[in-house]
């Protein structure tokens, strides 16, 4: 982020481009990438994108750690974008193995004693879950489907945490069969979990904290559908012990895409006070505490988010202090990161199709995917940025709204500056590794894209592309 009113080229920041959010930044002025002059946006070129005459390629720090611009082209894991698109088609979600491993290691280094379980929902994929298991992770699953996926990836039961606000008896039985830790989320789960043969449980409690994030991903407030209000949680702990369950501890998860530690610190302090209350009322203290996930990632240049290291070290310190403050025995710690593991690791590559002027103010650049592979802009107003992957060193002087191919006024990116785009160009959207494909749909009978994992110049398919025939096969003729 720009901290002085001048960019490194000496221009005033406010002479540079305005970002999507309307704030003024000069990201590209710091880009080390050399640029050629654009041949686009000339009068009479036929494409009336607004000519802005500025340099605004998004900084590579939104992209995976292995991303580079080489000979004018984006490469990830040593594989050029044109090669990825040529071999695997578009849209394509490209995951950088190095980034995923580094994010995982950052958690393990910052909290070496903790059990870290991957929030599988962020991108449920057998190979990613297996890779993370190699890095010492378990898995947090919230449905039978995610449980089966984690088991198929080889995660043992003692590294599985099973969630869900409405678990079926089948799901409880599957969790019991796997020997997983189950997070109780409702009073009626006590008897049903015991009957299903579940042993170890945590009790999820709502801390009454409103995290500063989108309301759809805020889960720690009183009234959330997740977890139990404190008094009910106390009753469930007591009932669980009576029913013969091994009530090991407490769980709290206050929300997702958190971009500072304030709410998490409050939750930790609240939880310690709640644990002390449990000791007083039940003569029971938690031997395990699961603090959930939640750390956010940057999607656009103007975003800020703490590093994994800063976030976890701060949380852990508060946790230890708060527990000691109530003279509680230190419990084992579980963390459940999802987005911060795979978010930055993923880049979606689309092929540019129609480029069309819609008004004086707006020129649409249409891509071959959109809402069906990334519904987050529509659901949460999420912002993204992009670069032209095959012309990444050219001057970015034209403003576009990026739209998809669905029957919907969908806007993936409200405003991005690019070189004058042509049919066939490749648009790369960074920070699309979490909750994108995972939340994809087949709206308009559009097949879901493939995903590849890249490392050391090699891309391997970790999720096959759907075909129209796959989708038609569901209809009974």
How far apart CA 248 and CA 193 sit, in angstroms, is 14
Of 6-65, which residues contact ligand LLP (CB under 6 A)?
A: none
Query: CB of 110 within 8 A of CB of 468?
Result: no
Asked if residue 122 binds ligand LLP (CB under 6 A), the reply is yes
**Residue tagged 């008896």 (tokens):** 169
Q: Exactly one of 7, 29, 278, 407 is catalytic; name it.
A: 407
Q: Which of 25, 88, 159, 163 binds ligand LLP (CB under 6 A)?
A: 163
* 96 in catalytic set: no
> Please, what is the angle between helix 230-242 and helix 262-282, to 10°?
50
| 338 vs 447 by CB, closer to ligand LLP | 338
Of 451, 442, 439, give the one whose Cα is nearest residue 473. Answer: 442
Asked if residue 390 binds ligand LLP (CB under 6 A), the reply is no
Torsion over CA: 180, 271, 205, 313 (sign): negative
Asked if residue 153 binds ligand LLP (CB under 6 A), the reply is no
How far apart CA 103 and CA 109 sit, in angstroms, is 10
Asked if residue 102 binds ligand LLP (CB under 6 A), the reply is no
- CA distance readout (Å), 157 to 52, 148, 176, 344: 56, 11, 9, 28
| 376 vs 405 by CB, closer to ligand LLP | 376
Asked if residue 217 binds ligand LLP (CB under 6 A), the reply is yes
Token pair of 81 as six digits: 């974008």
Asked if residue 380 binds ligand LLP (CB under 6 A), the reply is yes
User: Shortest gap between Cβ of 439 and ligand LLP (angstroms)?
Assistant: 6
Query: CB of 348 within 8 A of CB of 432?
Result: yes
Asked if residue 284 binds ligand LLP (CB under 6 A), the reply is no
Asked if residue 323 binds ligand LLP (CB under 6 A), the reply is no
Q: Which of 257, 302, 372, 374 binds ligand LLP (CB under 6 A)?
A: 257
DSSP conformation letters of 371-403: TTT--HHHHH------EEGGGTTB---EEEEEE
Asked if residue 336 binds ligand LLP (CB under 6 A), the reply is yes
Beta pairing partners, 334: 115, 290
Which of 129-137, 270-278, 286-294, 398-406 is the region at the interface with ligand LLP (rule: CB under 6 A)?
286-294
User: Shortest gap between Cβ of 226 and ligand LLP (angstroms)?
Assistant: 7
User: Shortest gap between Cβ of 90 and ligand LLP (angstroms)?
Assistant: 22
Token pair of 124 as six digits: 């449920």
Token pair of 170 as six digits: 């089948």
Q: Which of 27, 286, 294, 369 binds ligand LLP (CB under 6 A)?
A: 294
Token pair of 326 as six digits: 């109530």
Give contact residues for ligand LLP (rule: CB under 6 A).
119, 121-122, 140, 163, 217, 253, 256-257, 292-295, 336-340, 376, 380, 435, 439
Residues belonging to the active site: 407
């Amino acid at each position: 982020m720009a901290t002085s009113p001048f960019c490194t080229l000496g221009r005033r920041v406010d002479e540079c481009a305005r970002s999507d959010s309307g704030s003024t930044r000069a990201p590209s002025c710091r880009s080390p990438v050399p640029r050629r002059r654009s041949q686009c946006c000339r009068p009479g070129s036929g494409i009336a994108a607004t000519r802005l005459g500025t340099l605004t390629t998004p900084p590579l720090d939104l992209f995976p750690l292995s991303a580079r611009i080489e000979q004018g082209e984006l490469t990830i894991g040593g594989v050029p974008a044109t090669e990825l698109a040529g071999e695997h088609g578009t849209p394509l979600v490209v995951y950088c193995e190095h980034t995923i491993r580094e994010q995982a290691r950052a958690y393990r280094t910052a909290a070496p004693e903790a059990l870290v379980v991957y929030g599988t929902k962020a991108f449920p994929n057998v190979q990613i879950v297996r890779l993370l298991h190699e890095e010492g992770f378990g898995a947090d699953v919230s449905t039978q489907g995610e449980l089966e996926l984690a088991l198929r990836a080889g995660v043992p039961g003692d590294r599985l945490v099973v969630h869900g606000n409405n678990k079926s008896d089948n799901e409880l039985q599957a969790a019991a069969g796997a020997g997983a830790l189950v997070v109780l989320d409702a009073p009626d789960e006590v008897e049903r979990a015991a009957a299903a043969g579940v042993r170890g449980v945590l009790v999820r409690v709502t801390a009454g904290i409103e995290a500063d994030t989108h309301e759809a991903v805020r889960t720690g407030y009183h009234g959330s559908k997740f977890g139990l209000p404190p008094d009910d949680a106390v009753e469930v702990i007591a009932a669980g012990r009576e029913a013969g369950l091994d009530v090991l501890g407490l769980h709290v998860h206050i929300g997702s895409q958190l971009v500072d530690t304030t709410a998490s610190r409050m939750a930790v302090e609240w939880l310690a006070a709640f644990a002390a209350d449990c000791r007083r009322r039940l003569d029971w203290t938690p031997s395990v505490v699961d603090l959930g996930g939640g750390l956010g990632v940057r999607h656009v240049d103007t975003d800020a988010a703490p590093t994994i290291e800063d976030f976890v070290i701060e949380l852990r310190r508060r946790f230890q202090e708060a527990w000691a403050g109530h003279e509680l025995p230190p419990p084992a710690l579980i963390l459940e990161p999802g987005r911060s593991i795979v978010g930055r690791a993923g880049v979606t590559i689309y092929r540019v199709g129609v480029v069309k002027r819609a008004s004086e103010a707006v020129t649409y650049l249409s891509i071959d995917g959109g809402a069906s592979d990334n519904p987050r802009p529509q659901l949460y107003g999420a912002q993204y940025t992009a670069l032209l992957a095959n012309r990444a060193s050219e001057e970015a002087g034209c403003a576009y709204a990026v739209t998809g191919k669905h029957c919907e006024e969908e806007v993936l990116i409200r405003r991005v500056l690019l070189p004058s785009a042509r049919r066939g160009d490749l648009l790369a959207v960074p920070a699309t590794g979490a909750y994108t494909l995972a939340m994809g749909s087949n709206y308009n009978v559009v097949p879901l894209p493939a995903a590849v994992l890249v490392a050391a110049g090699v891309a391997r398919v970790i999720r096959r592309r759907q075909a129209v025939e796959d989708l038609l096969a569901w209809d009974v003729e």
